[in-house]
């Protein structure tokens, strides 16, 4: 039996190593692109479209209600045109990029998506019933809306909006669980994980973001539609009402940050330049949109044309990109906090792999194995593929050669052996001293432009030193402080 | 395994298998409409004379985008449950096919927009462009079908995984792929015929006259589909070898095989009745629909039995049992029922409250 001791709020994972079966998957090389960038890029695009679909429903329901009350006569004409945009963009690309998120998640980290599906498949299935209702209500409105009375239109739009928002409700629980699984870690209780510490701030934040995106798209649709100038002004003003809740976003953002684990918060607030920069991008873009909404649309001091509306949508997209990047990045070194590391290993498996090796049982051979100069470099390449390639490339984005190519051999050995302390958003190294040495040699070989001849190192003293460093580093995450470890 | 599917498996496994098959059946219905419908639309556009109205082409053009949306929506549920049932195999096949597999997403997006483009006045007014657009959409859907067929066959062939990975190939070569795809594609025709029949029937009941010849065309399409798909099934059975054939008529699959065969007979009778009927077509369409249900359900189960018997399925039982321990199924069931009622209410509102368009 092996035990991995974590932080005070990490469960102590005990595992019977005799039955440990790490599922090995074939690992694809994304070339110079980091896998995180691929899923991040698609994710941002999908989230933007999905939030547009939700906010669009809120906007149209509001407009339909205004029309029914006789407060906005042109609303009904606008709603029909806007809904066609929604169907053509959100129903098609939004729905398919949603499926794409699943497939891309499989490409980047099959174990992570597998764990999410295992844990939340009934929640996901429930979400599917709402998505189906959203599609059905939406299509009913799309096909028959122009021939329906106001009350029926309002019913269909209300149904569409409610279903779309509940889709967000369910998915938000799963996504926020990844960062803050809360009491699920101790009890394994589904609802403790679903209604986790970041659930509510995230849900409200996304709801208001959805309304803001819909209002910005509405501004573009209104500005290019054949309405009279006065009609346009009135429609723009009413659409801008959906931007008003943005005033609460700073509070919700602060709530979200406070609910995050302390180490994750520290990455965002200066600990990681990239994450801080994206946080700044998101906050700055939101602020600009908010200011324009306040002065231009709500106070009616400025007019909005199609160019300005397009620019505001781009800013809205930038804000979404910043927010999503922060959400994804703040989870490091985990994909599911305290449960599965970024490279898809559990804390308990790392303990075992320190003794048995991480790639000993990997059934997938190296591609182009003959290109490598010796077995040690081949082993290093397999270790890189299994442990590093989910977040790093060799020489591209976040490339190991750029990061560690200029280090001395001893420096690389030390830094990798104590990886979680070298950079606390990195997982612990999961392998034997021999595997670590092989990884060091592989990085050196790549940094040396892949020479045909390359020396094999096998100094027992060096391996013993690596073993000492690995033991000193332990297998707990690096962000634990000394006092927490003592406890 | 001597018990009929899904009995004889541990409770959690049987439960997930049954859920998977039932949700897959719903997906298959819409998928068949899209695949066969796009093909039929293309043929009608190539053979059609300009200036003449074609009710079937109009219907297809009008409803194919929705059918694709429904197929994708209905496809999400089985996609979820396949990850519970065959996680490692499904993920591995995805990973091995890599870019080839991921291409189905842009292919479906392009296909989707091409179906919408069919409805625009610009495309409608240009016969050659119309054919080109439909050809493009059909190519997208056939590519998707090919990729799924490859994925299915690769996922159940564990011995091929490591060599395929080493070879860097993103194309899985297997002699079953094309015959299997042909079987599923041609087998989509009877489904299309039943659904088109109902659409025409509803149109007629709404006051728009539909010629008897149009119903007969639909019945011929369904009967022809049954014949060619049956021939393909026989050819495919010869190809797969004695072991798979034995499993297809073994104790686990036999009742479903029989149900599918009986379904073919009933469906065929429904099409013959529809062909001959001058009135009361709803009855014959109902018979054909009942037959269709058993055909799709039966063939889907037989397909699943062939997968189950091709892999070490018993090794997956513990995973299914672990998945079954998580809560939430009553939540799902409750919202499934509530949302089904709401969806029915929405459809009813749209159909009953909408003013009839001016003739």
Q: Which of residues 159-178 of B touch A (CB under 8 A)?
A: 161-162, 165-166, 168
Cβ separation B165–A155 shorter than 8 A: no
What confidence tens digit (pLDDT) does each residue in B156-178 have? 999 999 999 999 998 999 999 99
Query: Between B73 and B355, whose confidence is greater?
Result: B73
Residues of B in contact with A25 (CB under 8 A): 88, 91-92, 95
Q: How far is B329 from chain A (nearest CA, A)?
A: 6
Q: What is the model's pTM? A: 0.92
**Separation CA A98–CA B127 (nearest Å):** 35
Q: Across the interface, which of B329, B353, B357 has its CB nearest the CB of A122? A: B329
Q: Return the axis-axis angle of helices A229-240 and A35-68, rounded to nearest 10°.
A: 120
**B333 touching chain A per CB within 8 A:** no
Tell the residue number behind the tokens 């018993």, with chain if given. Answer: B314
Residues of A in contact with B329 (CB under 8 A): 122
Q: Of B108, B329, B142, which Cα lies nearest the Cα of A126?
A: B329
Give the pLDDT of residue A480. 66
Q: Encoding tokens for residue A377? A: 């470099």
* CB distance B85 to B320 below 8 Å: yes
What confidence tens digit (pLDDT) does each residue in A51-93 have? 999 999 999 999 999 999 999 888 888 888 888 888 888 778 8
User: Is residue A14 classed exposed, middle or buried when 0-12, 13-18 and 19+ CB atoms within 10 A define those classes?
Assistant: exposed
Contacts of A408 (CB under 8 A, 6+ apart): none
ipTM of the complex: 0.93
Residues of A in contact with B162 (CB under 8 A): 363-365
**B108 touching chain A per CB within 8 A:** yes
**Separation CA B223–CA B221 (nearest Å):** 6
Which of the four pLDDT bands, split at 50, 70 and 90, describes residue A37? confident
Mean pLDDT across chain A = 89
Query: What would the DSSP string read from start to end of B212-223?
Result: HHHHHHHHHHHH
**Separation CA B90–CA B74 (nearest Å):** 19
**Separation CA B238–CA B105 (nearest Å):** 33
What confidence tens digit (pLDDT) does each residue in A201-224 have? 999 999 999 999 999 999 999 988
Q: Which of residues 73-102 of B touch A (CB under 8 A)?
A: 73-77, 79-81, 83-84, 87-88, 91-92, 94-96, 98, 101-102
In this structure, what DSSP letter does residue A246 have? G
Query: What would the DSSP string read from start to end of A256-271?
Result: HHHHS-HHHHHIIIII
Q: Encoding tokens for residue A382? A: 């397999």
**Separation CA B122–CA B137 (nearest Å):** 17
Cβ separation A106–B161 shorter than 8 A: no
Q: Encoding tokens for residue A378? A: 């081949």
**B7 touching chain A per CB within 8 A:** no
**Separation CA A41–CA B167 (nearest Å):** 29
Residues of A in contact with B158 (CB under 8 A): none
Query: Between B61 and A297, whose confidence is greater?
Result: B61
**Separation CA A168–CA B337 (nearest Å):** 20
Helix (H) or strand (E) holding A341: strand A340-341
**Separation CA A424–CA A148 (nearest Å):** 59
Cβ separation B87–A106 shorter than 8 A: no
- With the CA atoms of A418, A419, A425 and A428 taken in that order, what torsion angle do they form, in degrees rounded to the nearest 10? -80
Q: Across the interface, which of B98, B340, B353 has its CB nearest the CB of A152? A: B353
Cβ separation B84–A121 shorter than 8 A: yes
Cβ separation B77–A88 shorter than 8 A: no
Cβ separation A99–B79 shorter than 8 A: yes
Query: Between B280 and A127, whose confidence is greater?
Result: A127
Q: What share of chain B is helix, strand, coil (3-state, %, to 5)?
A: 80, 0, 20
Cβ separation A121–B166 shorter than 8 A: no
């Amino acid at each position: 039996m092996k035990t991995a001791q974590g932080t005070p709020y990490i469960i102590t994972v005990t595992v019977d190593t005799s039955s440990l079966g790490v599922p090995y998957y074939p690992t694809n090389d994304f070339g110079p692109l980091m896998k995180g960038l691929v899923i991040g890029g698609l994710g941002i695009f999908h989230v933007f479209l999905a939030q547009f679909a939700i906010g669009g429903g809120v906007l149209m329901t509001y407009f339909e209600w205004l029309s029914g009350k006789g407060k906005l006569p042109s609303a009904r004409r606008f709603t029909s045109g806007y809904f066609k945009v929604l169907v053509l963009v959100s129903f098609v690309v939004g729905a398919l990029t949603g499926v794409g998120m699943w497939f891309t998640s499989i490409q980047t980290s099959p174990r992570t998506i597998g764990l999410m599906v295992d844990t939340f498949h009934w929640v996901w299935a429930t979400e599917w019933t709402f998505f189906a209702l959203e599609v059905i209500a939406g299509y009913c409105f799309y096909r028959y809306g122009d021939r329906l009375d106001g009350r029926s239109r309002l019913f269909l739009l209300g149904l569409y909006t409610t279903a779309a928002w509940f889709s967000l409700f369910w998915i938000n629980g799963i996504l926020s669980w990844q960062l803050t699984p809360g009491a699920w870690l101790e009890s394994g209780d589904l609802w403790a994980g679903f209604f986790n510490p970041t659930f509510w701030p995230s849900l409200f934040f996304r709801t208001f973001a959805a309304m803001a995106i819909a209002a910005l798209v509405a501004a573009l649709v209104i500005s290019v539609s054949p309405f009279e100038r006065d009609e346009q002004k009135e429609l723009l003003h009413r659409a801008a009402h959906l931007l008003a809740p943005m005033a609460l976003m700073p509070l919700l953002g602060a709530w979200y940050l406070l609910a995050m684990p302390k180490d994750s918060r520290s990455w965002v607030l200066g600990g990681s330049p990239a994450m801080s920069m994206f946080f700044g991008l998101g906050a700055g873009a939101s602020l600009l949109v908010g200011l324009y909404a306040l002065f231009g649309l709500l106070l009616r001091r400025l007019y909005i044309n199609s160019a300005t509306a397009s620019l505001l949508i781009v800013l809205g997209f930038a804000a979404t990109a910043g927010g999503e990047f922060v959400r994804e990045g703040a989870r490091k070194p985990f994909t599911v906090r305290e449960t599965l590391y970024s490279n898809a290993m559990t804390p308990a498996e790392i303990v075992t792999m320190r003794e048995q090796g991480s790639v000993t049982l990997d059934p997938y051979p190296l591609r182009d194995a003959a290109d490598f100069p010796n077995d040690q470099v081949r082993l290093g390449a397999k270790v890189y593929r299994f442990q590093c390639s989910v977040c790093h490339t060799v020489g591209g984005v976040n490339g190991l050669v750029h990061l560690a190519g200029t280090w001395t051999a001893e420096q690389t050995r030390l830094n990798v052996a104590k990886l979680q302390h070298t950079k606390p958003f990195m997982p612990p190294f999961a392998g034997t001293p021999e595997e670590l040495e092989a990884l060091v040699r592989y990085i050196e070989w790549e940094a040396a432009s892949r020479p045909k001849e390359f020396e094999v190192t096998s100094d027992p003293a060096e391996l013993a030193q690596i073993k000492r460093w690995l033991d000193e580093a332990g297998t707990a995450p690096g962000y634990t402080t000394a006092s927490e470890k003592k406890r | 395994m001597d018990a009929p599917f899904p009995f004889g498996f541990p409770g959690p496994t049987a439960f997930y298998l049954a859920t998977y098959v039932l949700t897959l059946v719903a997906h298959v219905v819409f998928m068949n409409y899209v695949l066969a419908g796009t093909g039929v639309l293309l043929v009608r556009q190539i053979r059609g004379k300009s200036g003449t109205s074609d009710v079937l082409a109009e219907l297809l053009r009008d409803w194919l985008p929705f059918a694709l949306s429904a197929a994708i929506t209905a496809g999400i549920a089985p996609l979820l449950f396949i990850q519970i049932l065959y996680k490692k195999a499904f993920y591995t096949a995805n990973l091995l096919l890599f870019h080839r597999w991921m291409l189905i997403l842009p292919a479906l997006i392009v296909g989707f927009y091409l179906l919408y483009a069919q409805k625009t006045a610009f495309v409608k007014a240009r016969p050659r462009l119309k054919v080109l657009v439909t050809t493009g959409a059909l190519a997208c859907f056939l590519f998707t079908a090919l990729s799924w067929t490859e994925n299915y066959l690769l996922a159940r062939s564990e011995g091929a995984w490591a060599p395929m990975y080493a070879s860097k190939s993103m194309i899985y070569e297997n002699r079953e792929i094309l015959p299997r795809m042909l079987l599923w594609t041609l087998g989509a025709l009877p489904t299309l015929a039943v659904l088109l029949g109902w659409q025409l029937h509803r149109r007629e009941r709404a006051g728009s006259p539909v010629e008897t010849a149009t119903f007969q065309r639909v019945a011929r399409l369904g009967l022809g589909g049954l014949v060619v798909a049956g021939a393909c099934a026989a050819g495919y059975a010869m190809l797969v070898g004695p072991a798979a054939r034995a499993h297809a008529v073994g104790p686990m699959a036999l009742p479903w095989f029989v149900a599918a065969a009986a379904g073919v007979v009933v469906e065929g009778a429904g099409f013959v009745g529809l062909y001959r009927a001058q009135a009361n077509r709803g009855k014959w369409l109902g018979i054909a629909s009942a037959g269709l249900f058993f055909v799709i359900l039966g063939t889907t189960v037989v397909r699943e039995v062939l997968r189950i018997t091709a892999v070490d399925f018993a090794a997956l039982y513990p995973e299914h049992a672990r998945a079954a321990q998580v809560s939430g199924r009553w939540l799902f069931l409750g919202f499934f029922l509530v949302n089904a009622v709401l969806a029915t209410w929405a459809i009813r509102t749209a159909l009953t409250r909408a003013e009839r368009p001016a003739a």
